[in-house]
Amino acid sequence: MKTSDEVRQFTVEADDDGIRVDRWFKRHLPQVGFGTVSKWARTGQVRVDGKRVKPDDRLAQGQQIRVPPGGDAAHKKPKAKRELSQAEIEQAHDMVIKKTKSAIALNKPAGLATQGGTNTFNHVDGLLDAFVEGEDDVRPRLVHRLDKDTSGVLLVARTPGSAAFFSKRFSGRSAKKIYWALVVGVPDIKQGVIEAPLAKQPGSGGEKMHVDHEGGAPAKTKYRVVETAAKTAAWLELQPMTGRTHQLRVHCAAMGHPIVGDGKYGGRDAFLTGSISRKMHLHARRLIIDSPDGGKLDVIADLPEHFAASLEQLGFDENASDATPMRDDPPPKSREEKKQQARQHAKNYRKAQRGPRRARGGTGGKGPAKGKGKR
């Protein structure tokens, strides 16, 4: 929005329902600093439905905001839209799986970073200007991330309100994320839960994680073996219940079955011989999340070429998994556990049939017992 020398009136839209006054200014008038907003609120110059407000008061859809003239800071000008090349625009649109009023679901290719960093100039965040068509359109924003070498579903929010909505679902763990992975070797237990706390590995500059039972943050992953190729490799479904950095990669390596192509955590053991690709075989296959538009947003991402080719070479059928979220039921009991449960059940049954035991030395309520005594 442009600067003005006149009093301005704005209507609170549905996307801003429940937002704080200061956050509303940050979204819609970023050139107005927080100090100015606080001063306007303190002196009664900014009003909502004609009433005075504080910066931390919440707004409701349909309310009218009065904004006084001026307050524009030169160092707070809105960020200019980045000019993208035609190739970058095509790259962005080629990733789109699904568009809704509140979100854009992308299929991020392996090798493309989610965000920029040192010497990282080509990334998803830098391509989001491709989805800004009009001058007044809001720039989409990331609400979660994938590792550079991980492919699959990446959700982008189209408005600030939907970004807050989705972020809350991700942080609250109600979003269901199901990954596909090829791992070296075959786990002995076909379905289970990996619980191993994770922390940054000392000396790695924070670039690598490791299992740390003393000071690590709790990390939990459900897994299920879909198919196996002798003892060479296994195709797994992985469902992270927490969102730690590199969680799936570290958990698979800690289980003794590193993800194929993940040399960072599996070393030389992470690569299969023959024609199997050396790229990482970890793919965010499906995302199920509540939508601010109502109902669920359910998105599936096609496999990258190297992953699909590896499945075929190993004799796996891509239709063997529908990436359904795993239930919270406890894993099946072992044969010994079932026997112990049966023995305990029989013992309890016999005890119930006998009825209450008599007290030792008692007479069943027939008076004192006569016994032989010493003379």
Instruction: Name the residues annotated as catalytic.
Output: 147
- Token readout for 309 is 């080719």
**Token pair of 215, please?**
């000071």
Tokens of 322: 């529908």
Q: Alpha-carbon distance 297 to 177, whole Å?
A: 12
Cα–Cα distance for residue pair 193/188, rounded to 1 Å: 13
Torsion of CA 336, 342, 346, 347, to 10 degrees: 50
The Cα 217–Cα 177 span in angstroms is: 20
- 184: Cβ contacts below 8 Å, ≥ 6 apart: 232, 233, 257, 258, 259, 260, 266, 269, 270, 272
Give the phi and the psi of residue 113 in degrees, each rounded to 5: -70, 150
Nearest to 11 by CA among 72, 77, 59, 82: 59
Beta bridge partners of 96: 106
Question: Rounded to the nearest 5°, which phi and psi values hold at 283?
Answer: -135, 125
- Mapped onto helix, strand or coil, the DSSP state of residue 32 is strand
Q: Do 105 and 299 contact (CB within 8 A), yes or no?
A: yes
- Report the 10 Å Cβ neighbour count for 228: 18
Q: Which residues of 161-198 are buried (b: 16+ CB within 10 A; e: fewer)?
A: bbbbbbeebbeeeebbbbbbbbbbebbeeeeebbebbb
Whole-number Å distance between alpha carbons of 72 and 62: 25
